Amino acid sequence: MDDAKQPAAEDTRTTRVTAEEALALHAEGRPGKLEIRLTKPLITARDLSLAYSPGVAEPCLHIHRDPKLAYDYTAKGNFVAVISNGTAVLGLGNLGALASKPVMEGKVALFKRFADVDGIDLCLDTEDVDAFVNSVRYLGPSFGGINLEDIKAPECFVIEQRLRELMDIPVFHDDQHGTAIVAAAGLINAIHLTGRDIKATRLVINGAGAASIACAELVKAMGMRPENVILCDTKGVIWRGRTEGMNQWKSAHATTTSARTLAQALDGADVFFGLSVKGALTGEMVRAMAPRPIIFAMANPDPEITPDEARAARPDCIIATGRSDYPNQVNNVLGFPFIFRGALDVRASTINDAMKIAAAESLAMLAREDVPEEVAGAGAGKALRFGPEYIIPNAFDPRLISRVSPAVAKAAMDSGVARRPLLDLQRYARDLANRLDATVGALEAIAESVRQNPRRVVFAEGEEEKVIRAAIAFRNAGYGTPVLVGREDRIATISAALGIPLPDGIEIHNARLSDSNRRYAEFLYAKRQRDGFLFRDCLRLVNQDRNVFAACMVATGDADAIVTGTTRSYSVAMEGISMAIDPIPGRVVFGLSIIVSRRAGTVLVADTAVHERPDAETLAGIARGSAAAARRLGLEPRVAFLSFSTFGDPRGTIPGSIRDAVKLLAERGADFEFDGEMSADVALDPGLRASLYPFSRLTGPANVLIMPGLHAAHILARSVPRLTSATVIGPLLTGLAHSAQIVPMQAGVNQILDVACLAAHAAATK
Ligand SMILES: NC(=O)C1=CN([C@@H]2O[C@H](COP(=O)(O)OP(=O)(O)OC[C@H]3O[C@@H](n4cnc5c(N)ncnc54)[C@H](OP(=O)(O)O)[C@@H]3O)[C@@H](O)[C@H]2O)C=CC1
Ligand SMILES: CC(=O)C(=O)O
Ligand SMILES: [Mg+2]
Q: Which tens digit of pLDDT belongs to each residue from 4-15? A: 444 444 666 665
* Averaged pLDDT, 740-762: 90
The residue among 421, 426, 403, 399 whose CA lies nearest residue 343 is: 421
Atom of ligand 2 nearest to the CA of 88: 6
Pocket test for ligand 2, best of 87, 103, 104, 212 (most atoms within 8 A of CB): 103
CA distance 582 to 501: 37
Q: What is the pLDDT of residues 693-747, one digit of tens each?
A: 999 999 999 999 999 999 999 999 999 988 987 888 889 999 999 999 999 898 8
Is 92 flagged in the annotation as binding? yes
Q: Is 107 a catalytic residue?
A: yes
Residues of the chain with pLDDT > 70, as a percent, come to 95
Q: What is the pLDDT of residues 123-135, one digit of tens each?
A: 999 999 999 999 9
Q: What is the pLDDT of residues 632-660, one digit of tens each?
A: 877 889 999 999 999 998 887 777 889 99
Q: Which residues line ligand 1 (CB under 6 A)?
A: 88, 90-91, 152-153, 175, 179, 206-212, 232-235, 245, 275-277, 280, 298-300, 322, 330-332
Structure confidence at residue 631 (pLDDT)? 87
Contact between residue 755 and residue 439 where contact means Cβ atoms under 8 Å apart: no
Q: What is the pLDDT confidence band of residue 67, given thresholds at 50, 70 and 90?
A: very high
Buried b or exposed e, range 215-247, using 16+ CB within 10 angstroms: bbbbbeebebeeebbbbbbeebbbbeebeeeee
Residue 150, ligand 2, Cβ within 6 A: yes
Q: In the predicted model, is pLDDT for residue 393 greater than 90?
A: yes
- Tell which wins on pLDDT, 195 or 28: 195
The residue among 276, 250, 243 whose CA lies nearest residue 262 is: 276
Contact between residue 620 and residue 655 where contact means Cβ atoms under 8 Å apart: no
Q: In the predicted model, is pLDDT for residue 521 greater than 60?
A: yes
Is 589 flagged in the annotation as binding? no
Is 89 flagged in the annotation as binding? yes
Mean pLDDT of the chain: 92
The one catalytic residue among 107, 278, 356, 466: 107
Q: Give alpha helix (H) positions in 127-206.
A: 129-137, 155-166, 179-193
The residue among 402, 410, 431 whose CA lies nearest residue 346 is: 410
Is 448 flagged in the annotation as binding? no
Structure confidence at residue 727 (pLDDT)? 83
CA distance 726 to 722: 8
Q: How many residues does the chain have?
A: 766
Residue 331, ligand 2, Cβ within 6 A: yes
Structure confidence at residue 17 (pLDDT)? 67
Q: What is the pLDDT confidence band of residue 438, given thresholds at 50, 70 and 90?
A: low
Residues near 53 by Cβ (< 8 Å), separated by ≥ 6?
Answer: none
Q: What is the pLDDT of residues 175-198, one digit of tens each?
A: 999 999 999 999 999 999 999 999
Pocket test for ligand 2, best of 105, 177, 278, 331 (most atoms within 8 A of CB): 331
pTM of this prediction? 0.71
* Averaged pLDDT, 272-299: 98
* Averaged pLDDT, 543-558: 96
Structure confidence at residue 635 (pLDDT)? 83
Structure confidence at residue 541 (pLDDT)? 96
Residues of the chain with pLDDT > 90, as a percent, come to 77
